Amino acid sequence: MLFMRPDTATKLIEFVESFRAAKTLSVTWYGGEPTINKAFEIVRSISDRLKRLKINFKSAALVSNGYMLTKEKAHELNYLNISNVQISIDGPRQVHDQRRMLKGGRPTFDRILANIDTLMGSSFTGECNIRVNLDRQNISSFSTIRNYLLERYSGTRVTVYAGYVDTAANHEKEGGCSVCAAEWADFSVEQFRDLNAVSKEGVYPLGGLLNICSATTSSGFVVGPQGEVYKCWEDVGRPNMVIGNVHDTPAICNDDLVAEYSIAADPFLDEHCRECSVFPICSGGCANRRLRSKFFGEPELNFCSLYKEHLEAYLLEYFKAFETRAICADVLGHGGDRWQDRGYRVVHA
């Protein structure tokens, strides 16, 4: 396993400092696994130094499998400015343990949940989002695990959401065990209709803000363990997607690739997008997928929004919920928050 060396961490701090005009800094720690003892020491050391910089180190998030998130580490999270912990699981115990076991085959589900219990019982004041990774094999078990987790963590700052597992994220060809876009759309609408459950993207689009990420902003970067810099975390480990290295001066040297992310990935230059009816709420989809599809030899990769083919189904369910909320507010004297509507639902015959 590759860990960031101390001299690389020092160069990383200098890289951050080089953005003199930047006022705030947000960091996401992910791996590998950032809660492995040695990795967590590096998180600690870098965070300490970031906190001493002039820039306001505003917040951090931690993406973890939860297995090594001990009580001691949980108590440190506030100090490390970590306000959000994302922990992923693969379904109910028997499903998860068949897929996510230790090297010798031992299960991990119970320990991960025990660690979440510890986290929520610790001094940590942030939120914990449990992402349930879903693909074609385990999607039908989502309701079971969601209900179980919501009950177990009722009244805490734990949320549970369905995470789309995209086999293309491993830089393999589309297909494999991913759920196709149409199935995912059906699943999302059904979850919203029957359980008031929303996927992380929400049920109704927020107006094209969803694809703002490190890849599409000028001051967002992903730094790998050897100091290599990328625009997108989907690119980590792909030598042809490296835009520079914090050990070099200047750190960013692959201007062509930076330009491709900032100009070639611009959906306004794509006539399909300009003519697409969901452009205002899609804003051109994932920049990384767009580049890979159009310029890096993966033409079959889909980067279009789910709303493109399924907007009507999403809108209909959203409208029903909106109507229900309005009626609850007018007739029953409450409403306004979708979660208060449980038990009342306008049904269109």
- List residues binding ligand SF4 (CB under 6 A): 267, 272-273, 276, 278-279, 282, 284-285, 303-305, 308
Closest contact distance (angstroms) between CB of 274 and ligand SF4 is 8
Closest contact distance (angstroms) between CB of 198 and ligand SF4 is 20
Between strands 244-245 and 228-230, the pairing is antiparallel
Report d(CA 253, CA 228) in Å as an integer.
Answer: 11
Nearer to ligand SF4, 34 or 267 (CB): 267
Closest contact distance (angstroms) between CB of 234 and ligand SF4 is 16
Q: Phi, psi at residue 36, to the nearest 5°?
A: -60, 140
Nearer to ligand SF4, 45 or 199 (CB): 199
| DSSP category for residue 163 | E
Between strands 82-89 and 127-134, the pairing is parallel
Nearer to ligand SF4, 81 or 293 (CB): 293
Report d(CA 188, CA 306) in Å as an integer.
Answer: 10
Closest contact distance (angstroms) between CB of 275 and ligand SF4 is 8
Closest contact distance (angstroms) between CB of 287 and ligand SF4 is 10
Find tokens 């400015």 and name the residue: 81
Closest contact distance (angstroms) between CB of 289 and ligand SF4 is 9
Nearer to ligand SF4, 95 or 203 (CB): 203
Which helix (H) or strand (E) segment is 338 a member of?
Answer: none
Nearer to ligand SF4, 91 or 285 (CB): 285
Closest contact distance (angstroms) between CB of 97 and ligand SF4 is 38
Nearer to ligand SF4, 287 or 328 (CB): 287
CA atoms within 13 A on the CB side of 339: 3
Distances (CA, A) of 339 to 66, 146, 204, 282, 329: 28, 15, 15, 26, 13
| DSSP category for residue 270 | -
Spell out the residues 6+ positions from residue 6 whose beta carbon is closer than 8 angstroms to its own.
45
Is the Cβ–Cβ distance between 226 and 2 less than 8 Å?
A: yes
Environment class of 62 (CB within 10 Å of its CB; exposed 0-12, middle 13-18, buried 19+): buried
Nearer to ligand SF4, 34 or 285 (CB): 285
